[in-house]
A and B are shown apart, each in its own frame.
Chain A
Amino acid sequence: MPDEAIPDRPISDGPILKVDAVSKHFKVQGRTLRAVERVSFELGAGQTLGLVGESGSGKSTLGRLVLRLLEADEGKVVFQGQDLAKLSARELRARRRDMQIIFQDPLAALNPRMTVGAAIEDAMAVQGIGGSPNERRQLTGGLLERVGMPVSVAEAYPFELSGGQQQRVGIARALSVGPKLVVCDEPISALDVSVQVQIIELLRQLQTELGMTYIFISHNLGVVQLVSDTVLVLYLGEVVEQASSAELFGRPLHPYTKALMSSVLKVPEAAEKRVPLVALSGEIPSPLSPPAGCPYHPRCPLATDQCKREKPQLRTVWVGHMAACHRAEEVGTMGTSPTALAAPPELAAS
């Protein structure tokens, strides 16, 4: 939704990425697990899309579908005008230059027996970047400096580095092929808080300098709010709310989004301003047997009989803001105070 873009970002002519009703189902113990169900979005060049949801919501699966690391069962992923599903293995491999991923656990993503330098040079060699090993070595040095590390780190093995340094190496390797689109899958979740801010700042700088497009996957609403232009909230594989970051967090329209927001514990300004914790009931249901009607209704304080029967479709509630809730308009007028949902006003009576 380019019209929602924040003005001082580069706005491209068309979207760099179009995802159209993609679904992914897995067979588990003879049953079907709908990991991702008919998700659609568009993403402009240089923009960041945030994917947020609890574990099991399908956010990582969606990230992998976009890169065709997993094959979608239905739907289309069009990257720079090209339908990725139509590419042969060879064509896809060449295309990977433009599409990279950064993982939550950088250590698991790096070969323990390769030095940092070798890992980065290897990524370049696969894509035919840099004419000679010597040239690649020089490029690697530049990349390491760019992600804030001394060139000497090239000689180190991954286990010798701290978590933050490992993630910087992961970023350097993704950058080494000059990608246009980077899927960042929980890139800071495993890091200490002081290092999280460093990595966020690095990703921000790189995006500004290189004009990359990000898909940023995180369970941390604060982080998603901070880095994203557009946000999708996923619940049991489906989008329940979709809007610009400012709009979505400023005026959430889905009770689940509100529940997530109120679950994030804010540091109180002063001891006397501490509010009692309010727990939301229930846990995310098994995706193997999602509830009938609205998948969120068993946990929703606003659920009505209609919600138990009828599944709400994702619909535009107002310009640039979609939600899958029968009562989205009412939710939108309820404000964002943490207790607004825990103790719903007269609305809950019905």
Chain B
Amino acid sequence: MAEDLLSVEDLRVEFERSDGTVYAVNGVDFSVAPGETLGIVGESGSGKSVSVLSIMGLLRGNGQVTGGTAKFMGKDLLKLRRRQLEDIRGRDIGMIFQDPMSSLNPTMRIGDQIMEGMLAHQYTNHKGAFNRALQLLEEVGIPEARARFRSYPHEFSGGMRQRAMIAMAVACEPQLLIADEPTTAVDVTVQTQILVLLRELQQKQRMSVVLITHDFGVATNVCDRIIVMYAGKVMESAPLADFLARPAHPYTIGLRRSVIEVGTQAHQLKAIPGVATTLMAPPHNCPFAERCQWVTDLCRAEVPELRPLSDGHFVACHRAEEVLAEAGANGAERAAPRGDGASASARSRGAWSQAGDEATLHA
């Protein structure tokens, strides 16, 4: 097996707030192989973005990496000086974000912005950079690239801005592209266009991609491996095949049952009760315990470690084997265990049938 391009171990991040310390990332491990697309899935506050931003040195002022390593091409990104990290960012690692307007300079022409990164990192020749920038605009599907070269960001549609940002991110042919919710703010028809574009570029440039998303549909349609995060910890990590066929963490299964797509019947849906909490202390038990229907005393007493279930499939759940056996294929089909599974019986009423009656809320 080829050596990993990026390997993150025991990453920890804390934020200082007026009301105390927030434990945002609590010992996260993941790695990205060359050419691989890794999906990081989680809800807001799960630490999926913070994990990746922190290794790029992009945390806000009150955030701090408190432990761990992040080896990229043999160097620990967390130990580099600011200057060294800046060299890697934009050249070896490209990044795109949800809101292209936050990454584009509103007062600068699109073409110039693409050239700026290239001139800083790779090109010394203005003419060469210009030609490459023009070619990039065409590659990312911007029509009339030569005319559009001189446009300002506000003259572009949301989808076009996203494409321009992608052009900037891949301009120096990075080894790794980090895409943080790249399609969350665009319409569904544009979403597919962007994902197809990312895949074309990935194959052409042989990049690895880390795709951060809250969207199961996006993750399962483009990623080779998916990790699910909750409360700053990895709950499950599996190659796509295992992720789809043998999900073994109750949270993964819960998320899968929350996906609403065309054709979803209300009785197939099941809300995960409660809300995610912000950790104001390091986790001392399973962070998902309070929302989990499999919870036991052990879950409330001990943090489950991320452990191998089968080759390449890791789960942080004390009862993963039982969950896997009970939930069955797809994790979405069968009702819940622990006696109260009868709640899933569907009493169809009009367009909205019974969607599970666990919509309670812990204040």
Contact = CB atoms under 8 A, between A and B. Distances in A.
Interface of A: 6, 8-9, 48, 54-55, 148-150, 152-153, 162-165, 168, 192-198, 200-202, 204-205, 207-208, 219-223, 225-229, 245, 249, 259-261, 263-272, 274, 277-280, 283-284
Interface of B: 43-44, 157-160, 187-193, 195-197, 199, 214-218, 220-222, 239-241, 244-245, 254-266, 269-273, 275-276, 330, 348-352, 355-357, 359-361, 363
Contacts of B199: 277
Given A197-B258, A271-B245, A283-B157, A226 B351 contact: yes
Given A149-B363, A280-B192, A284-B187, A264 B261 contact: yes
Contacts of A274: 220-221, 240
Given A149-B363, A219-B187, A197 B271 contact: yes
Contacts of A204: 266, 352, 355
Given A222-B261, A263-B189, A270-B241, A148 B196 contact: no
Contacts, number: 191
Contacts of B221: 265-268, 274, 277
Contacts of B330: 269
Given A150-B363, A165-B363, 4 more contacts: A201-B271, A260-B188, A263-B192, A274-B221
B18 to A, nearest CB: 13
A54 to B, nearest CB: 4
A329 B352 CA distance: 30
A8 B350 contact: yes
A284 B225 CA distance: 33
Contact of A221 (B43, B262, B272): B262
Given A204-B355, A267-B256, A267-B259, A54 B188 contact: yes
A345 B350 CA distance: 36
Contacts of B239: 271
A9 B361 CA distance: 28
Q: Can you list the 6 inter-chain pairs with the closest CB atoms, starting with the nearest?
A: A265-B217, A271-B241, A192-B43, A204-B352, A197-B271, A194-B272
A272 B241 CA distance: 8
A202 B359 contact: yes
A193 B258 contact: yes
B262 A271 contact: no
A152 B363 CA distance: 9
B189 A226 contact: no
A194 B214 CA distance: 10
A350 B330 CA distance: 43
B25 to A, nearest CB: 18
Given A229-B350, A264-B217, A271-B241, A198 B260 contact: no
A316 B348 CA distance: 29
B262 A225 contact: yes
Contact of B189 (A162, A194, A283): A283
Contacts of B351: 6, 9, 48, 226-229, 245
Contact of B263 (A205, A207, A225, A227): A225
A194 B188 contact: no
Contacts of A279: 189, 192-193, 195-197
